Structure 1
């Protein structure tokens, strides 16, 4: 009898525990959609003359505002806490929408980041403040831009152009504040990992796992 109990504890119980937690993981690995199918960018200028699109990319989306040089610490926080960990993934991009006239400010920021970071996956697009405010108004969010067409908050956008976050009654989160490193290190990193797990699980299910997400 004792031998059977020992065998149960050693072999059967771990399997039961694994199945229990595995089913729990499957239930909690979908990051909720906050806003469906947001618009793609217009024919806006980019710093490198490239076409920047939200389609088929996981995007960390931000709005730099006219005072982006003054608030460059926010970009440095995002760079340190999120960008440096994940920027090598093929399906991921970091995009900041900025007002025309801030191009030189962006170059100064990128020069500073380039001293310790590969900045090739930072993308900046430029358009008028009117276009920025109009675009933001179409995102269906509770937050707003400031008087300089910017915000310290960034958004997680999936490959289908859906903004992801937390939609619970007591835990609603549509964006992540780059001014607070703890917000990036804790909530944003946790949510971002869930989205990555989603895509990785889908790739494995389709027997198509690769270096991509």
Structure 2
């Protein structure tokens, strides 16, 4: 049994085994559950952004509502930055958007400075809007938990087609999961992070399927 040396076992566990798992997953059809769409065609954030510099369309977005008392949710935003933003900042078309009411620019600048002390803020976006626009925008999510002072501790996951994603049967409650509690590290680590990965895998699988179809059409001369 000289073949099974310690070095070879380590190499197998580090390189060969993960590759086999990946190939099994990537070649199978419907081996994963797609992340449910909870609300279709919500209002794109570009509709309330006066500068029109930010949009949901074509991006995987996490959006949060900062409200009039930004300090009250700052700890949740730091959690979101540490547990989610830093994990996905290298992913394509990924962004986090903070929506806040006009007149809170000074507080937002301080928040950006605090978060940016140890973070590349390139994919953090902040937009201001009126109270009425923020409320209408939020209502398009069709989430029955109201904003408090234009703020919520929940972060919301929006796909590239401007649909709200989440869970139909949330573990522990049995209810739909529209938003992810930023104050809970376990929710961010165990639910939001996993759901973002599932969403990206959806796009990866769709990309592979499109390429396969193109190759098939070439083979038959179409």
TM-score (norm 1): 0.79
Aligned residues: 189
> Is 2:26 the counterpart of 1:58?
no
Unaligned runs of 5+ in 2: 1-20, 213-222
**Do the aligned residues in 1 keep the contact of 2:42 with 2:162 (CA within 8 Å)?**
yes
What is the rounded CA distance, in whole Å, between the counterparts of 1:117 and 1:18 in structure 2? 31
**Corresponding residue for residue 203 of structure 1:** 207
TM-score (norm 2): 0.76
**Corresponding residue for residue 79 of structure 1:** 81
What is the rounded CA distance, in whole Å, between the counterparts of 1:18 and 1:194 in structure 2? 14
Deviations 1:44-96 (A, max 9, x none): 457xx661111111110111111113321111000000000101222111111
**Do the aligned residues in 1 keep the contact of 2:48 with 2:134 (CA within 8 Å)?**
no
**Do the aligned residues in 2 keep the contact of 1:29 with 1:197 (CA within 8 Å)?**
no
- Which of 137, 140, 159 is 1:138 aligned to? 140
**Corresponding residue for residue 117 of structure 1:** 119
CA RMSD, aligned part only?
2.6
Label 1:105 to 1:18 Cα distance change in 2 as closer, same or farther (>3 A).
closer
Higher helix share: 2
